[in-house]
Each structure stands twice: as structure tokens, then as C-alpha cells.
Chain A
Amino acid sequence: MEEQTEHKYLPNYLEYRGKYKGLAGWLTTTDHKRIGLLYFYSMMVFFLAGVVMGILMKLELISPGEQIMGAQVYNGLFTLHGLTMIFLFVIPGVAAVYGNFFLPILIGAKDVSFPRLNLMSWYLYIIGAIVVLTSQFMGDGPPDTGWTFYAPYSLKTQTNVVAAVTGAFILGFSSILTGLNFIVTMHRLRAPGMGWLRMPLFAWALYGTGWIQLLATPIVGITFLMVIAERLLGIGFFDPAIGGDPILYQHLFWIYSHPAVYIMILPAMGAITEIIPTFARKTIFGYTAIVISSMAIAFVGYFVWGHHMFTSGMSSTSRWVFSLLTFLVAIPSAIKVFNWTATLYKGSINIKTPFLWAICFIFVFMIGGFSGLVLGSLATDIHVHDTAFVVAHFHYIVFGGTGFAFFAALHYWYPKMFAKVYNPKIANLGLFIFFVGFNLLYFPMFYLGMIGMPRRYYDYLPMFHNANILSTIGSWIMATGLLIVIINLVRARRGTGKEVNDPWDGKTLEWTIASPPIVENFEEIPVVDHGPYEY
């Protein structure tokens, strides 16, 4: 973002050379597009590591008894898998990668409001990741508490909880600063003529997300600090032996971690909302309804945390209150699904890879959503609580939701980000295999949960064997699909693509500029005189 004197040729963000060249140029960049890619590459590393851990766990579960690891290793592995996937992949996920890359472009700005703070967020993310990962190698062994760090076990276990919790705290900081940056950007840097109700819906989703990041993350931050203090300083907050209330820990943890689910899913929904109208060749159905539902999800989602605690010993009053609120939050989510399908109705649908990913997203997201209602109602939750059913549910939501949207967005914006074209046939094949594998992997777990298989054990009774075999095979198929998808994209990145500015005939601002975008995005800040999706 150095000043430019040459105006005849505007270098794009990939080849631009600032003060430093090469890697140093990337590590000192304040360009939101480069920061988006920094997130992208680091996140992919963590994601693939998390996938490998998942496959190893599934391999362990292929038969009853110890296959490739014992109980303690398995406990450490599901903790690390959770930490990696939740804190390093899905929470920053769509927002940090595509939010950074596209938010300023979508609202017609040259960058975010605080570019240097933006870079600092990425560094905090990396530092946090390193601290989390060192917990595996330092001290007294990898944490075995699960990513939830429930007290009092997290206070008593001899494993290295402090490092993992500290890392999560730092990651929270990174998340807060990103949200802050995006909110200010949307308040201050919208292009002339772009009123709030002309903002693309991805931007609106990021706005809601930003507020959750700001208001929910500090609560878990302070909770983690209390756990650290309790472990290190010998003071007491949550240990029942000194009068503390472990359920209060659960309250505080979920006051953040439930809204965190919306930090994961809102930007994902936003990305899908960009993709659907582009390929339906039709304006989005119910723009205002989607805006309101985004904000409603952000708001109501703040008050449903207790549905993670129905069996914890909470009062019965708060159980039905939380159950009621949980059903309420299903409404705005459903509104979005109705809007997407209504947009498709009578559209001139252009079936391309991003569209297929988006459709698969809606499919798995709906399965995840409906199974969520089973967990949200008190009676049925008691039956399936802490079983494989829960694991299946949140993988359908978090992986099926955010993960599918992540790849949908990647295939959608890939030509803009890199100015390269991937092979659509291989991409579709990869998606197909991935989709089949995904469902084969997680769907049997609904069944397993219903018949009573508990989660978080390396071993199980022989009665659960058949479905587990299916599930493990599914994990292999899914990994194959994922590999095909990724190799296809990597090959495209290396290949010689043609520079197409608007491959999908999209109408939002990112399609009006060059691919790859120039350093300052726009040669001239656009003046906006219509809504985002006018076909």
C-alpha cells in the first residue's frame, strides 16, 4: 500500500512489490487481499492436519478394542482435533479468508479501516496457533479435556491445559480484532451511494458476525484466564471442593461457544447468499428478510447457550427457557433456507461447481439443522446427549455448513483471487465423492447415537460395530474427494489460466474489477446507484 506514482500500469496484488520482496513482502503486507491469503494458506495447513487426525480417530473406531492407539492418545487426539478445527479453522474460517479478501471490495473500499491492525490479527492467530500446538509437546503431555476444557477436570488433569487455554485466549483476541476491523470498515468505508441496504449480504453476515465476535469472545477469554489463574495461582473459581460451581464454568464457556457457532455459520450463509443469485441469474428473494435474519441469528443466538447443558444439573426453569429460545433461533435460519430456495424458483439456473457446492451445503445444513431440533428439545436431548448423535449433528452443521461453504466460496471466488480457471469436471467429480463420503461418514453416527454409542471413547461395544465400519469407510471416501478437490485447485493455480474478470456474470462489485485485483482494488472508487443483485 505504498503510494503510487505510476498510473498507467497498476500492478495487481500478487505481483506488486512494496518495500520488501518475496516472503518478507507477504509477511509485512497490510493489503487485505494478501492478508486474506495468508489466512487461507495457514488455515489450509491446520485444516488438513485436523482432517488427518479425524481419519486416525475413525481408523481407531473401525473395530472394538484398541486398534492403533490407546485411550490416552485418543483423548489427546480428539482434544487436538477439536481445538484445531474449531479455533484454527472454522471460527476464523470464512470470515478471515473471504471476509478479508472480499469485504472491502464488496463495499467499494480500498482496504479495511485499520490495515495494520488487520495484519496484527493474523500474527496473533499464528502465535495463538503455535501456543496451542506447543501444548502437545511441552509439559506433562497433550491436554485430554476435549476442546471444551470443562471444569473441574481441566483444573485437575496433569496434562498441559494451561498452554492450550492460553493459545485459545490469544486466538480469541485475533478474532475480536478482526470483527472490530470489519464493523468499522462497514461503518466508514462504504462507497458513495452504497447505503446499508445496498450492501451485499455477505457483508451483512460479516457485520452480524463482527458483533458476536466483539461481545461473546471476551466472556470465554476471561473464563480461560480464570482457569489459568486457578491452575497456576491456587485461587478458586470453579472447583467444587472449594465451593466453586462447575456448572458456572459451563455457562460461561457456552455464553461464548454457542454464539461462536454463529461466528462460524453466519459468514458461511453469507457466502452461499452471494452464490445463489449469481447462478440462479435472479435477484435474491427477500433481501431485507435475510438482513434481518442475519442480525436476529446474531442476537437470539446469544441467548441459547444453555441447550448444551440440559443434562448438567441446571434448574428446570432455565432448561425450558433455553429450549424455547433454541427453537426461536431456528426461525431465522429457516428463513434463510426459504429465501435461497425461493431465489432458485423460476431462476435461469446455471449449474456450475460453486452452485453445486452451495446446493450440497443447503442439503447437509438442513440435516444438521433438523437434528439440532432433536437436541434442542428437552426430552429427546436426554436420550442422545453425549452420544455419537451429537457428534454427527455438529459435524453436519460445522463441517457440512462452514466447510461446504468454505469450498463453495473458494470455487466461486477462485477466478477472482488468482485469475486462474480450474477444471470444472474434476472439481465436480471431487465434490461428488466428497459429498458421498461425507454422508457415509456422519450419517451412521446419527444411528449410532440413537442406539446409545457414547462419544469420546476409543473403544465401544460390539453391537455398534457395523455402522462404525461404514463410517470409517466414509472417512476414506471423503478424504479422497477432498484430495481431488484440492489437487485440482493447486493444479489450476500452477497452470496458465486466462484472466477473466467476470466468469459467472456476477453483479456485485468484485466482478467489476480486474482479476486478480489491483493493489487498491478500484482504479476509481465506484459510485453505487442500485442494490447488489440486479439481474
Chain B
Amino acid sequence: METITTHQHADLHRDDTAAKLGMWLFIFTEILLFGGLFIVYSVYRFKNPVAFELAHEELSITMGFINTIILLVSSATVAISITAMQKNDRKITLAMLGITLLLALVFLINKYFEWGGKFEHGMYPGSELMKNLSNGDMLFFSLYFFMTGLHGVHILIGMILLGITLVKVKTGAVNSGKYALLENSGLYWHLVDLIWIFLFPLFYLIH
């Protein structure tokens, strides 16, 4: 009896499928979290089509495009790092995770300059300029700051997750026999990418 009990006990604490399912369920809540914002966005865009189209011209398509490419590439590098882990190639795993983190940082720096540019022109939450915007513009920029800001927070969370994973791969705590953490951090990172895929056309490509 002893051996069986302890064996099952070990199983209880190590269920990669459960961890993955849990991660997917959490991703669903994240999708609905942004989903609420997409509802708000679609309603206000429906009510203020002209204002939204004009307001979006304040945003730089180039910046948005570059950030989209950065996130897409970083998603690919995470996917590659998982493949490398499955092939037990730690070097490539580490390199790819490193590149992903670097790209995430570049994304944030880009964002910093993008937001910084707005701030310099006096356009930031609570500023006089923003308070005096016409109704539709106000809604557009409120949504813009809130949604890209929340997305930025998710980038940070993703970076922390990937950073922890990177350290654990280095120490060997995450290895080719046990890489649920890597897989789940990867899933989370793809989610961050997924959300951006929709944010990009909705804010930068209004026509």
C-alpha cells in the first residue's frame, strides 16, 4: 500500500495536463477581460465613426507595424524554444528565450517613445488637452491609452513569466522531461501576441 500511496501522491503534485488546462482556462479569462474592452470599443466606434477615423491619424502606422512584427517574431521564437526543449537542445532554448525577452523589451521601448511623443504634445490621461477634446476623440484616446496600457502590463507579466522560465531552464529545473512551465509561459506569450493582432488594426488602421 505504501508504495502506491506515495506514488499517487507524486502524481498529484505533477500533472502537466492539468497545468496546461489551467493555463488555457486562465487565457479564456484574459480573452474575456480584453473582450469587455472590445465591446466598449465597438460600441463607441459605432457611435462615433468619423471622430474615431480622424483621431486615429494621430497614431503612427509605422510604429504600430514595427511593434506588430516584433511581437510576431517573439511569438515564433517562443514556439521555437519549446521545440528545442522537446528536442533536448538547451542551448537553442535559452537563446530563443533570451531573444524573446529582448524583443519584448524592444516592444516596450517602442511603446515608451510612442506614448512619450503623445505626452510631449500634452496628450496624456488627465491633461488639459485631453480634457478639452471633443467627445469622440476623448473616447478614442481613453480607449487607446487604457487598452494599449493594459496590453503593456500583460507584456510585463509575460516577461516575468518568461524570465522565471529562463532561469529555471538554466538551473535545469525545467528540462526536456519536465517543461510544463515553458509551455505555459509560451501559451501566455502567444495570448499577448493574439490580443495585439486585434489591437493593431483597431487602433492604427481605421479607414
Q: Which residues of A contact B (CB under 8 A)?
A: 3-4, 7, 110-111, 113-114, 117, 176, 180-181, 183-184, 187-189, 214-219, 221-223, 225-226, 229-230, 233-237, 242-245, 248, 251-252, 255, 520, 524-525
Given contacts A243-B48, A252-B36, contact A214 B29 (CB under 8 A): yes
Complex Cα–Cα for A223 and B146 (A): 12
A3-B6, A184-B21, A187-B21 known; A245-B43 Cβ under 8 A: yes
- Does B36 lie within 8 Å of A234, measured CB to CB? no
Asked if B179 is at the interface of the complex by the 8 Å CB criterion, the answer is no
**Please, which residue of chain B has its CB at the minimum distance from the CB of A188?**
B18
Chain A residues with CB below 8 A from B37, complex form: 222, 226
Residues of B at the A interface (CB closer than 8 Å) are: 1-2, 5-6, 8-9, 12, 15, 17-18, 21-22, 25-26, 28-30, 32-37, 39-40, 43-44, 47-48, 125-127, 130-131, 133-136, 138-139, 141-143, 145-146, 150
Assembly CA distance A229 to B2 (angstroms):
56
Q: Complex Cα distance A361/B20, Å?
A: 39
Q: A221-B33, A235-B142, A235-B145 are in contact. Are A7 and B2 (CB under 8 A)?
A: yes
Residue in A110, A176, A219, A229 whose beta carbon sits within 8 Å of that of B12 in the complex: A110
Contact A242 B138 (CB under 8 A): yes
Assess A236 versus B139: contact at CB under 8 Å? Given A113-B15, A218-B30: yes
Closest to A239 in B: B138
- Contact yes or no, A236 B29, CB < 8 A: no
A222 touches B36 (CB 8 A): yes
Inter-chain CA distance A260–B5, complex, in Å, is: 39
CB–CB A243/B135 < 8 A? yes
Distance (Å) between the CB of A332 and the closest chain B CB?
23
Residues of B within 8 A of A242 (CB): 133, 135, 138-139
Q: Out of A214, A233, A524, which one reaches B125, CB within 8 Å?
A: A233
Would you give the shortest CB distance from A375 to chain B, in whole angstroms? 25
Distance of A524 Cα from B1 Cα, bound (Å): 9
A218 near B29 (CB under 8 angstroms)? yes
Q: Measured between alpha carbons, how far is A61 from B83 in the docked complex, in Å? A: 68
Q: B17 to A223, Cβ gap below 8 A?
A: no
Say whether A226 contacts B39, CB under 8 Å.
Answer: no
Q: A235, B43: Cβ atoms under 8 Å?
A: no
Let me know if A236 and B33 touch, CB within 8 A: no
Q: Which residues of A contact B130 (CB under 8 A)?
A: 234-235
- Besides A242-B135, A245-B44, 17 other CB < 8 A contacts? A113-B18, A180-B22, A183-B25, A214-B25, A215-B29, A223-B36, A226-B40, A229-B125, A229-B146, A230-B142, A234-B131, A235-B145, A235-B146, A237-B146, A248-B39, A252-B40, A524-B1
**When the two chains form their complex, are residues B5 and A4 in contact, meaning their CB atoms are under 8 A apart?**
yes
- A244 to B12 Cα, complex, angstroms: 50
Find chain A residues with CB under 8 A from B2 CB.
7
For residue A188, which residues in chain B have a CB less than 8 angstroms away from its CB? 15, 17-18, 21
Cβ-defined contact, B22 with A113, below 8 A: yes
Find B25's partner among A180, A221, A234, A237 (CB 8 Å cutoff): A180
Please tell me which one of the listed residues B35, B40, B139, B146 contacts residue A218 in the complex, with CB atoms under 8 A apart.
B35
Query: In the bound complex, what is the Cα–Cα distance between A236 and B138 (angstroms)?
Result: 7
Are B29 and A176 within 8 A (Cβ)?
yes
- The interface residues of chain A lying within 8 Å CB-to-CB of B30 are 218
Closest to A217 in B: B29
Contacts of A113 in B (CB 8 A): 15, 18, 22
- Closest partner residue, chain B, to A5 (CB atom): B2
Contact of B139 among A7, A176, A221, A244 (CB under 8 A): A244
Q: 10 A-B residue contacts at CB 8 Å?
A: A110-B8, A188-B21, A214-B28, A214-B29, A215-B29, A222-B33, A226-B37, A230-B142, A243-B135, A252-B40
Q: Which residues of A contact B146 (CB under 8 A)?
A: 226, 229, 235, 237
How far, in Å, is A527 (CB) from chain B's closest CB?
13
Contact A237 B136 (CB under 8 A): no
Question: Which residue of A has the minimal Cβ distance to B141?
Answer: A235
Least distance between A35 CB and chain B CB atoms (Å) = 16
How far, in Å, is B72 (CB) from chain A's closest CB? 25
The CA-CA distance from A524 to B139 in the complex, in Å, is 60
* Chain B min CB distance to A285 (Å): 32
Residue of A nearest to B10 (CB): A3
> A residues within 8 A CB of B35?
218-219
Residues of B close to A218: CB separation below 8 A: 29-30, 32-33, 35-36
Please, which residues of chain A bring their CB within 8 A of the CB of B143? 237
Whether the pair A7, B1 counts as a contact (CB closer than 8 A) is: yes
- Complex CA gap A266/B135 in Å reads 42
- Please name all residues of chain A whose beta carbon is closer than 8 Å to the beta carbon of B28 when the two chains form the complex: 214-215
Which of A7, A181, A183, A243 is the most central at the interface, judged by chain B CB atoms within 10 Å of its CB? A243
Tell me the complex Cα distance, A219–B2, Å.
47
Contact residues in A for B18 (Cβ distance below 8 Å): 113-114, 184, 187-189
Contacts of A219 in B (CB 8 A): 32-33, 35-36, 39
Residue of B nearest to A215 (CB): B32
Given contacts A180-B22, A221-B33, contact A235 B40 (CB under 8 A): no
Given contacts A214-B28, A215-B29, whether A245 and B47 have CB atoms under 8 Å apart is: yes
> Which A residues lie within 8 Å of B150 (CB)?
225
> With A176-B29, A180-B25 given, is the CB distance from A3 to B142 under 8 Å?
no
Residues on A with beta carbons closer than 8 Å to the beta carbon of B1: 7, 524
- Say how far B137's CB is from chain A's closest CB, in angstroms: 9
- Asked if A234 and B126 sit within 8 Å, CB to CB, the answer is yes
Shortest Cβ gap from B157 to chain A (Å): 14
> Contact check: which of A243, A245, A255 meets B136 at CB < 8 Å?
A243
- Which chain B residues lie closer than 8 Å to A233 at the CB level? 125-126
A22 to chain B, nearest CB (A): 25
Whether A248 touches B131, Cβ cut-off 8 Å, given contacts A217-B29, A237-B139, is: no
The CA-CA distance from A227 to B40 in the complex, in Å, is 13
- The reply to whether B32 and A525 contact each other, CB–CB distance below 8 Å, is no
Residues of chain B contacted by A189 (CB below 8 angstroms): 18
> What B residues does A520 contact at CB under 8 A?
5
- Indicate whether A184 sits within 8 Å of B32 (C-beta atoms), given known contacts A110-B12, A234-B131, A235-B142: no
- Residue in A221, A222, A252 with the greatest tally of chain B CB atoms within 10 Å: A222
How far is the CB of A151 from the nearest CB of chain B, in Å? 12
Q: When A and B form their complex, which 10 residue pairs have the shortest distance between CB atoms, in order from nearest? A: A243-B135, A234-B126, A235-B142, A222-B36, A218-B33, A218-B32, A233-B125, A219-B36, A188-B18, A113-B18
Residues B125 and A234 in contact, CB atoms below 8 Å apart: yes
